[in-house]
A and B are shown apart, each in its own frame.
Chain A
Amino acid sequence: MTTDIESTQSAIVDEFRQFTDWEDRYGHIIRLGRDHGDIDESLKVEKFRVKGCQSTVYLVPQFKDGVVHFEAASDAMIVNGLIAILMKVYSGRTPQEIVETPPAFIAELGLTENLTMGRQNGLKAMIEQIKLYGMAFQAMNKTGQDS
C-alpha cells in the first residue's frame, strides 16, 4: 500500500535531516538520481519533454483507476534525483491530491534556493507540469462523472 502523501513528504524531509553538510546532501540526491534510472527510449518524445531545462527532462503521465502514474527522467543526475523525490510524492496519487499538494517540502530539504527554485534545472517547470496534468485529469474525471 502506498504511504499517504503527507507521510511521504515528512519521510523525505527526515531522510535529508540526517545529512549535516551540503556534500552529503548533494551526494544523496545524486545517488537517488542514479537509482531512479532512466525511462524507456520510446517515451522520449517531444510531447513529453519538459521545456525550460538545461538538462533534458521527460515527464510521462498515465491516468489509470483514478490515480496518475508518472514516469520521468533527466540526463543530469542531480535533476534525476530531484525527479526521484517528486515521483515519490506525486506519482500514484489522485488528481485531487496532486493539485492540492504544494511542493513546500522541497524547501525543507536543505538544498540551495537556486537549485530548488532554479529555472535553469527545470524543477519549477516540472512541478508546474505535474500540477497541470493533475488539473487536466481532475477536469477529465469530473466531465466523466457528469456525463
Chain B
Amino acid sequence: MTQATIDHQGRALDIERVRDDFPVLHQEVHGAPLVFFDNAASSQRPSQVIETVRRYYERDHANVHRGIHTLSQRATEAYEGAREKVRAFINARAEKEIVFVRGATEAINLVANSWGRRNLSPGDEVIISHMEHHSNIVPWQMVCQATGAKLRVIPITDAGELDMQAYRRLFGKRTRFVAVTAVSNALGTVTPAKELVRIAHDHRVPILIDGCQAVPHMPVDVQDLGADFLVFSGHKMFGPTGIGVLYGREDHLEAMPPWQGGGEMIDRVTFEETTWADLPNKFEAGTPNIAGAIGLGAAVDYVNDIGLDAIQAWESGLLEHATRHLEALPEVRILGTAEHKAAVISFLVGDAHPTDVATLLDMKGIAVRTGHHCAQPVMQRFGIPATVRASFAFYNTPDEIDRFVAALKKVIPMVC
C-alpha cells in the first residue's frame, strides 16, 4: 500500500519517491534496515543537493564576486542565486536581508556581538526562554558579561510551553532585546512566535526568532511573522553542513557594525580608514561557503517541490502515530506535552539511563539521540539529566515508527 498524505493544496506526499531521493536511508545498520530518527540534530540530504554541490565543484568553482572570468561569474551567479532562493523561501523583502553564515549558532553570535555590543549598556535586559538551545543562551550570556546587561528568562510550564503571562511581565524599562525559539529542539514545543513578536514590538523591543527546528518543517514567512531577525541552519533542512542563514530586517542590518573584518566585506581600505561594503557583504567577511550556499539553494528547491504544507501534514501524522504508540507503553514517559508540537518526541524509559536505551536501539538499526540536546536548562527544569529523543522528517514512515516501537518493546525488559 502506498502511504500518502494530502496537503492543503491537495498535493500528496509520495513517500516512495521521497525516500528514493535520499541514498543514505537505504542501508543496514547492525543487520537491520536503518531507521533514522535523529533529524532534529541533523537531517539527511537528497541526491538533488548532493548532485548540485558535486556539479558545482566539477564545473563552476571559482571565488565569487569581482572575478571577471567566466567561472567566477558562474560561481557568483549560483551563489547569489541561492540567496534569492532563500529570500523567496522565507519571503524576505530583499536579498540584502539574507546573510550567509556558518550556521544558526554563528548567526546568533553575529547579532549578539554586532547589535548587542552597540546597543546594550549596564543594567539593560535581554529576554530569552527556559527552552532555548545553548546557541541561543551562551552568546547572550557572553554579550551580557561584556556589556553589563542582564539575562531574563521566560519560564516554561510542566507541559513544556512558554509561560506567556510571565513573558509579558518580564518587559520593563530596561528591556532591549528578545531572543526566543520557534520550536524547542528538546521538547518539540511550537511556541507562539507571532505572538512573541507582537508583544515585543508592543514594547518597541526587537526580537530574534531561532527558526532551526521550524524552517525545515513548516511554512515561515518573515513578513507575516514580523520578527526583526530569524536564524536557521542548512544542515537541519536537507542542505550541506557549514551553511546557515541570518535574516535581518534591512534597517537593523544597515545600522549594525560589521562583526568580522576581512576581504569581501569592505568598500575601500587604507591604513587610516576602511569603509564597509553594502549589505549583505558587510557581514560576509572572507571567502564564503560557496558550495554550501548553492547546496542550500538546492535544498530550498527540493523542499518547495515537495511542499511545506505536505511536509507539515505528513510529519504531524508521524508525531501523532508515534505519540499514540509510545503512550501505550506504561514504562515510557514523554517529556513535552505541549498542545502544538513539531515532530520531536523526548522520552524516558522507566529509570533506565537514556544511553542504555539508545545503545540497544542502535543494535536494531534505529538512530535516536540521547543527552541534554544542548538544552541543559530544559533538563534542569524537569529534574532529569537527559532524555531519549526521536525526531522525524518527511522521509520517515509510520512503518519505521512501528519498527521503533517494536524494538523499544524488546529493549524495555532489558533495561527496566
Contact = CB atoms under 8 A, between A and B. Distances in A.
Report if A and B associate in a common complex: yes
A77 B410 CA distance: 16
B363 A79 contact: no
B386 A54 contact: yes
Given A26-B360, A54-B370, A77 B386 contact: no
Nearest to A56: B385
Given A22-B30, A54-B371, A78 B363 contact: no
B14 interface: no
Interface in B231-271: none
B415 interface: yes
Given A26-B360, A112-B30, A114-B362, A121 B415 contact: no
B353 interface: yes
A1 B415 CA distance: 34
Interface string A21-34: 01100110010000
Interface string A70-110: 00001111110000000000000000000000000000000
B285 to A, nearest CB: 33
A115 B360 CA distance: 10
B352 interface: yes
Given A22-B30, A26-B363, A54-B386, A76 B414 contact: no
A76 B354 CA distance: 8
Contacts of B370: 54
A54 B362 CA distance: 16
A120 interface: yes
B414 A55 contact: no
Contacts of B352: 77
A132 B4 CA distance: 57
Interface string B382-416: 00011000000000000000000000001000110
B355 A55 contact: yes
B140 to A, nearest CB: 26
Contacts of B363: 22-23, 26, 112
A55 B359 CA distance: 12
Contacts of A27: 414
B355 A78 contact: yes
Interface in B331-387: 352-356, 359-360, 362-363, 370-371, 385-386
B403 to A, nearest CB: 16
Given A54-B370, A54-B386, A121 B355 contact: yes
Interface in A1-49: 22-23, 26-27, 30
Contacts of A121: 355, 359
A30 B386 CA distance: 19
B94 to A, nearest CB: 44
Contact of A76 (B30, B355, B362, B410): B355
B385 A76 contact: no
Contacts of B360: 26, 78
Contacts of A54: 354-355, 370-371, 386
Contacts of B353: 55, 74-77, 79
B349 to A, nearest CB: 12
A23 B355 contact: no
A55 B410 CA distance: 22
A84 B319 CA distance: 39
Interface in A47-76: 54-56, 74-76
B385 A30 contact: no
Given A54-B371, A55-B353, 6 more contacts: A23-B363, A30-B415, A56-B385, A112-B30, A114-B362, A115-B359
19 contacts: A22-B363, A23-B414, A27-B414, A30-B414, A30-B415, A54-B354, A54-B370, A74-B353, A75-B353, A76-B356, A77-B353, A77-B415, A78-B356, A78-B359, A79-B353, A79-B355, A114-B362, A120-B355, A121-B355
- 4 smallest CB-CB distances across A and B, nearest first, come from A76-B353, A76-B355, A54-B355, A78-B356
